[in-house]
Amino acid sequence: MSDRYSFLNSIHLKNLEYLYNKYKKNPNSIEKSWRDFFHGFDFGEKNYKTVFSSKSNSQESYKKSFQSFHLKNDNNLINQEFLVYNLINAYRKRGHFFTHTNPIRERRKHFPSLDLENFSLSDKELDMSFEAGKLIGIGKNSLRNIIKYLKNIYCGSIGIEYMYISDPTKIQWIEQWFQKEKLQFSAEEKKFFLKKLNAAVAFENFIHTKFVGKKRFSIEGHESILPGLEEMVKYASRKYLTEDFIIGMSHRGRLNLLSNFFQKNYSQIFSEFQEKEYKEKTFSGDVKYHLGFSTIRKDYKEKYIKLNLVPNPSHLESVDAIVEGITRAKIDIIYNQNSNSEKIIPILIHGDAALAGQGIVYEVIQLSRLKGYKTGGTIHIILNNQIGFTTNYTEGRSSIYCSDVAKVILSPVLHVNADDVESVIRAIHFSVDFRMKYHEDVFIDLLGYRKYGHNEGDEPRFTQPSLYKAISKHTNSYNLYKEKLKREGVVSNDDIINMEKEYENILNIGYNKAKNIKWNVLNSFLEEEWKNVPIVSNHKDIFHTVDTRISMKRIIDISNKIFSLPNHKKFFRKTESIFQQRLEMISNQLVDWSMAELLAYATLLDEGFHIRLSGEDVARGTFSQRHAIVKTEEEEEIILLNNIRREQGKIQIFNSPLSEYGVLGFDYGYAMYSPHVLTLWEAQFGDFGNGGQIIIDQYISSGENKWKIKNGIVLLLPHGYEGQGPEHSSARVERYLQLCANNNLFVVNCTTPSNFYHLLRRQMKLKYRKPLIVFTPKSLLRNSKCLSQIKDLSEGKFVEILDDPSVQDTNQITKLIFCSGKIYYELLKKKESIKNENTALIRIEQIYPLKMERIKELLVTYKNKKEIFWVQEEPENMGLWSFILRKIGNIISFNLISPSESSSPSTGSYPDFLKIQNKILEKAFF
């Protein structure tokens, strides 16, 4: 067979055979265009007995007949029908390689091309009619018209990637969408698009001249995103009654969208360019192109539309997960837990280099169809600059397109010329329709350029001289569209002059108002949702005691409900044993760690709070301790916590993918919207939290200070040295303490079930919200000493620093040992074994904020102390030592007892671990 047959000579025989057999059984069982095609095919069959003998009705003969088509004479019309089918299929699969989507340079060449000769066709067939035209919705038609139609759909300003989708109904839907008559825009709509393009360009030019040399990360080269977003809001709100849009993007074009789309006051933006101080000195603020914004616009038939731009640091795609979490929270709280809700759309605006290079994108995409994380489909828009900071796309990725990650979840991708605003609008309509039809992600790769360097002070010609020579000569999309509308007679020169002057006046008014603004104001993102939750930073309010008590009777009643398995269900024997032991402990008025945790959740649920628990293996618990979801032998899932009473709150528990960065970002976003939901994320082991370090550094620890973001997320990080190696020992406590300042976080290492119980309840009872980092135990989950009485739950409270309960006479104490966490129980065991009565063990439960007054009180209480030690099982350069020394080293003369400094958190040898631990204990008491 000749080389020209190597191009998808693939007519997908098995697929054709399958469709044809379905057609023969029931013509109405297949899509109409295929039905019409096979109808024409059968007509041809009757007239070409040489191809299909009436005796050849078996499946094998049918298959051989298909396979023989390419070997027939070119005059064989049936053979030619399938050659045309091959051509159609090639346009569908590879047409995107031959589009006019790049506005500034020639596209890369791809082979083989779509030339007729690659399909055993030639110019002599151009005027022949083919039944195959029915497959693309134009009926039996000439090859010339078929090719023209295919080029119009697949090779214009939009290139479509979709043929890898496994669902044939989606493929048919996509093809039918693009085969329908193209959108026709009214004169008023075209004028609106032009007005928005002018605003995008004029805003950038205004800043460029008024604030020379200031960074703004211009949108120029992608001006069409502005009319595109306007059309998305208009189209989705009118057709699908969408009322809520959550948008995440990095810095490029952000200021333009803030002013011209979100309608942030121009004077406020210009005041920020004037570098005025923030009125609220307690906040550091952030650069203007990182700030978030929330607004309600009254648009389109007097509808109220909510627009939210999520604040974003320079860790580009990190905001993706936050957007999805906020969206899911709104779905759960406002939109009736309908993850296919048409009321809300998450929109992610990516840069091409970041989309291809950042692993968080993959993590977020993997969340998109999971029960606990789906948001009904995200619309992704890529502002494709065709360059990173200074890095060419050939250095920035191995894939053909920056959008190829979309293929992981088989999402359609539209590659669109950013200069063709009407094609951009068409792509927007498609993306909204697809999202609403299938509730899945869809991608628009908007090919444009970056007019300046990475920022306006950068010189791009150092590294890309040819590219920027072409860009400097290129006419922007506003001027291109302006000339187009003038040729069409839609606008006149006077119309354009008036439009430009009107917008210029708006800018000048904002600029002049900015001169009279004394202070910049740090707008709080989602301000309305948090209006009744204050930001608290002073010491008095931080340590204000809240009532977390609940009656013992209610605790026992709730315990009997959440620890009793349904009698009519069959459970795994060990499951039954665990729950029976829990009931026995309740009868003895005792609780262990996992019971205290579940009771904290249950009592909050009983009071009407909602809870979300998410992370790796959280349903059962990494250490087989939680069993918040139990399964019957038939694998029916039961959440006993949701069966307390009819009007209770609801708990949602989701095992996550093996992802920290994406899932932690998602849950932080969830907590960002929902102050009245206890949102918890648990790491499988504490050290795994370092996989989500960007979220911890850029959002959890600093979001309040940078953006006035309030957030009450809880991180549960298993921590404790037990000889399980470096990664399964340390949650890197010291890293979190480095992030603590101005009472921004709670960092806690509880040692009793009751303290953990009150801690979780306190998190929701406080009038304010702070992220809570909890270093949770592993071996203590089953330590016979780590128990609390139910009385401690009903009558107690959270205690920041625990005194030694075994001390009878403080005058006998000559040695004080301060510690935190699980090492306490090992010190206690040693103390009891040697019958030491002159040492007091003091536990720091809440590490930050540190309750200095209580420490001072204890130092006075133990007035006969002669030695004071800080004991930790972490190496000297890790753990709490550096923090404790910095905080109270000036009032206490400490001696440190710990393993020597190390670059690794722990040894990998269990015998070595035992030697190290024993050495710590020996030093502590001798």
Residue-wise pLDDT tens digits, 849-881? 999 999 999 999 999 999 999 999 999 999 999
pLDDT at 21: 77
Give the E-state strand segments of 619-745 in sequence order. 630-631, 637-638, 651-655, 677-682, 714-718
Q: What is the rounded distance in angstroms from the CA atom of residue 754 to the CA atom of residue 796? A: 8
> For the segment 260-311, what is each residue's pLDDT rounded down to a tens digit?
999 999 999 999 999 888 887 778 888 888 999 999 988 767 789 999 999 9
> For the segment 395-411, what is each residue's pLDDT rounded down to a tens digit?
999 999 999 999 999 99
Rounded to the nearest angstrom, the gap between the alpha carbon of residue 553 and the centroid of all alpha carbons in its chain is 42
pTM, two decimals, is: 0.93
> For the segment 491-508, what is each residue's pLDDT rounded down to a tens digit?
999 999 999 999 999 999
> For the segment 212-234, what is each residue's pLDDT rounded down to a tens digit?
989 999 999 999 999 999 999 99
* CA geometry: angle 850, 851, 856, nearest 5 deg: 120
Cα distance between the two ends of the chain: 89
pLDDT at 17: 63
Q: What is the mean pLDDT of the segment spanning 799-823?
A: 97
Q: What is the mean pLDDT of the segment spanning 648-659?
A: 97
pLDDT at 6: 34
Q: What is the rounded distance in angstroms from the CA atom of residue 32 to the CA atom of residue 38? A: 10
Q: What is the mean pLDDT of the segment spanning 538-543?
A: 91
Kindly write down the DSSP assignment for every residue of 136-205, as one continuous string: GTS-SEEHHHHHHHHHHHHSSSEEEE-TT-S-HHHHHHHHHHHHSPPP---HHHHHHHHHHHHHHHHHHH
What is the overall mean pLDDT for the chain? 92
> For the segment 572-583, what is each residue's pLDDT rounded down to a tens digit?
999 999 999 999
- pLDDT above 60 (res 73): no
Q: pLDDT confidence of 64, banded at 50, 70, 90?
A: very low
Q: pLDDT confidence of 7, banded at 50, 70, 90?
A: very low
CB 379 within 8 A of CB 424: no
For the chain, percent of residues with pLDDT exceeding 70: 94
pLDDT at 57: 43
pLDDT at 78: 79
- pLDDT above 60 (res 377): yes
Q: Identify the weakest region by mean pLDDT among 104-118, 476-490, 709-723.
A: 104-118
> For the segment 592-651, what is each residue's pLDDT rounded down to a tens digit?
999 999 999 999 999 999 999 999 999 999 999 999 999 999 999 999 999 999 999 999
Q: What is the rounded distance in angstroms from the CA atom of residue 672 to the CA atom of residue 893? A: 42
Q: What is the DSSP letter of 718?
A: E
Q: What is the mean pLDDT of the segment spanning 65-81?
A: 57
Q: Are strands 746-748 and 846-848 parallel, antiparallel or unpaired?
A: antiparallel
pLDDT at 726: 94
> For the segment 102-151, what is each residue's pLDDT rounded down to a tens digit?
999 988 889 899 999 999 999 999 999 999 999 999 999 999 999 999 99
pLDDT at 402: 97
Q: Which residues contact 396 (CB under 8 A, 6 or more apart)?
A: 352, 353, 356, 357, 388, 402
pLDDT at 29: 80
> For the segment 731-788, what is each residue's pLDDT rounded down to a tens digit?
999 999 999 999 999 999 999 999 999 999 999 999 999 999 999 999 999 999 999 9
Q: Which residues contact 890 (CB under 8 A, 6 or more apart)?
A: none
CB 703 within 8 A of CB 311: yes
pLDDT at 229: 98
CB 321 within 8 A of CB 259: no
Q: pLDDT confidence of 14, banded at 50, 70, 90?
A: low
**Burial of residue 496, with CB atoms counted within 10 A of its CB: 0-12 exposed, 13-18 middle, 19 or more buried:** middle
> For the segment 424-451, what is each residue's pLDDT rounded down to a tens digit?
999 999 999 999 999 999 999 999 999 9
Q: What is the mean pLDDT of the segment spanning 559-577?
A: 96
Handedness of CA 222, 224, 230, 232 (dihedral sign): negative
pLDDT at 41: 60
Q: What is the mean pLDDT of the segment spanning 543-562?
A: 97
Q: What is the DSSP letter of 442?
A: E
- pLDDT above 70 (res 49): no
Q: pLDDT confidence of 48, banded at 50, 70, 90?
A: very low
Q: What is the DSSP letter of 808?
A: S
Residue among 463, 452, 458, 459 nearest 391 (CA): 463
Task: Report how far apart, in Å, the C-alpha atoms of 460 and of each of 211, 215, 456 are.
Answer: 20, 15, 10
For residue 448, give the amino acid letter.
G
Cis upstream peptide for 465 (omega within 30°): no
CB 793 within 8 A of CB 787: no
Handedness of CA 207, 212, 215, 220 (dihedral sign): positive
- pLDDT above 80 (res 45): no
Q: What is the mean pLDDT of the segment spanning 913-926?
A: 95
Both tokens of residue 426? 């068409």
pLDDT at 70: 43
